[in-house]
Amino acid sequence: MSDFSVVKILGTPTINLTPATASQVNIVDTGGYYVGTEVETALAEIGAGTTLDSRYINVSGDTMTGLLQFSGTTHAGLKLLSLTTTQRDALTPANGMIVYNSTDNQVQGYVGGTWGQIGGGGSQTPWTSDVNAAGYKLIGNTTTTGDLTLQTTSGVGTTGADMHFLVGNNGATEAMTILNAGNVGIGTTGPGARLGFAAATTAAGGIDFGGDVTLYRGAANELRTDDMIESVRASSTDNAFLTWVTGDSNNRWYVTADGTMRWGPGNASVDTNLYRGAANILQTDDGLNIAGNVGIGTTSPTNLLSLGGNSARIFWLERHTTANTAGNTLTVTAGGATSGATDKNGGDLLLQGGLSTGTGESGVKIYGCVAGATGTADRTQTIGIQVLGNKLGFYGLATPVIKPTGVAVTAEGIHAALVSLGLIAA
């Protein structure tokens, strides 16, 4: 029988696996007559044996190394049963069955109760396979623009058609999950957003950038980093950080790239700011309401406005910057009575020196500039009234004196008393 011989078998033929000669394949009809006999051992050979399990087919002429063996360079190979998906699904399959699916253009095998692709092209369908200790590499294409497509199902994917990436002891740890909705979970099997992480509250449960910068969940509703966050914008007026409250139509707070901060009510434009006015100057164009005590030069203010006491301090009104213009008035006013109140006093304006101890004293000095010759030269501030303890002096008196007592009611006595106070010259 040649390589291209055709045998037509009529009736209901059978194959005799135990012919008289071991090198023969006998095809017989229902009456037991030989229809044909293959005696070319180089093309087909049935091995000797007492049971069917010991038989083999050799279509190679080589030494047998398996139950079915082929060789050659032409007309060699095994063509599988070709079925459409519909025809394949109509079978009653058993594990280990192999067919060619002409619908999917795939060689498919039935393993573990399901059909799966065995190599070749096309889309990968569900398949289970043992791997060796060296691991398994999945390559999607050999071209520079080739894709690798992973698909969970060939049906209509619904909830549960997810992709799972298992690691650890026999896959005990689910490292990553891709849900049917497209959400990706790392360390969690139920991500509620496009990217979800396990509910860890340490840097190890977050995102690591370069090994030295982390971003993670610090607590409920809290995103935390142990490092610096930097915003780089094209313009100094570009917004760098913004905050909103649910339902707002405008920002509640934002910072521009130059450091200016602005605040608003949320339902209208921002209306309050704080920014760098000049070198070493923090400035606002709006009011500043401070509910507590303010300390300047001290971290422990005990009054509404407290100055650090380790050095002398001066409150003053800066000189006018408009050429040839008089200085402005600084007014300090105590509080007034309630508007419309009956016979109520206004508040007193108190000026007092600092607390002294032992034989020490303190007082108050009131200065003024005395007029001089016409011109542009600055005048010198001089003491007009001075209080030192219980002493009083006027018009620059060097040493204030206590209240004069026992003064004779004479011109000379009164004159002496006024001189001692500095009210008149000697």
Residue 270: the pLDDT is 93
Rounded Cα distance between 406 and 414, Å, is 10
pLDDT band per the 50, 70, 90 thresholds, residue 133: low
CA torsion through residues 290, 291, 293, 299, sign: negative
Rounded Cα distance between 26 and 17, Å, is 7
Question: In this model, does residue 135 exceed pLDDT 70?
Answer: no
Contacts of 200 (CB under 8 A, 6+ apart): 187, 206, 216, 217
Burial of 252 (0-12, 13-18, 19+ CB in 10 A): middle
Rounded Cα distance between 44 and 68, Å, is 10
The CB-side HSE value for 273 (13 A sphere, CA atoms) comes to 14
* pTM greater than 0.75: no
Question: In this model, does residue 98 exceed pLDDT 60?
Answer: yes
Written in H, E and C, the secondary structure of 91-131 is CCCCCCCEEEECCCCEEEEEECCEEEECCCCCCCCCCCCCC
Q: Are 161 and 169 in contact (CB under 8 A)?
A: no
Residue 235: the pLDDT is 95
Torsions phi, psi of 166, nearest 5?
-105, 140
Least confident of 88-102, 115-129, 153-167, 361-375: 115-129
Q: What is the pLDDT of residues 186-228, one digit of tens each?
A: 989 999 999 998 888 888 888 898 889 999 988 888 889 999 9
Q: Are 97 and 107 in contact (CB under 8 A)?
A: no
Q: Are 113 and 122 in contact (CB under 8 A)?
A: no
SS3 call for 416: helix
Residue 419: the pLDDT is 85
Q: Are 38 and 44 in contact (CB under 8 A)?
A: yes
**Cα Rg for the chain, rounded, in angstroms?**
52
Question: In this model, does residue 345 exceed pLDDT 90?
Answer: yes
Rounded Cα distance between 397 and 156, Å, is 104
Report the percentage of the chain scoring pLDDT > 70. 77
Contacts of 44 (CB under 8 A, 6+ apart): 25, 38, 57, 58, 59
Rounded Cα distance between 178 and 163, Å, is 5
Question: In this model, does residue 319 exceed pLDDT 70?
Answer: yes
Dump the DSSP string for 180-245. Answer: TTS-EEES-S--SSSEEE----SGGGSEEETTTEEEEEEETTEEE-SS------SSTTSEEEEE--
Question: In this model, does residue 256 exceed pLDDT 80?
Answer: yes
Residue 281: the pLDDT is 94
pLDDT band per the 50, 70, 90 thresholds, residue 43: very low
Average pLDDT over residues 332-341: 92
Give me 2's structure tokens.
Answer: 């040649």
Q: Which residue has the higher pLDDT, 339 or 50?
A: 339
Give me 71's structure tokens.
Answer: 């060789």
Q: Classify each residue of 373-401 as buried b or exposed e, where b means 16 or more C-beta atoms within 10 Å of its C-beta.
A: eeeeeeeeeebebbbbeebbbbeebeebb
Contacts of 402 (CB under 8 A, 6+ apart): 390, 391, 392
Q: Are 246 and 256 in contact (CB under 8 A)?
A: no
Question: In this model, does residue 33 exceed pLDDT 80?
Answer: no
Residue 144: the pLDDT is 83
Rounded Cα distance between 69 and 67, Å, is 7
Average pLDDT over residues 133-148: 73
Residue 73: the pLDDT is 66
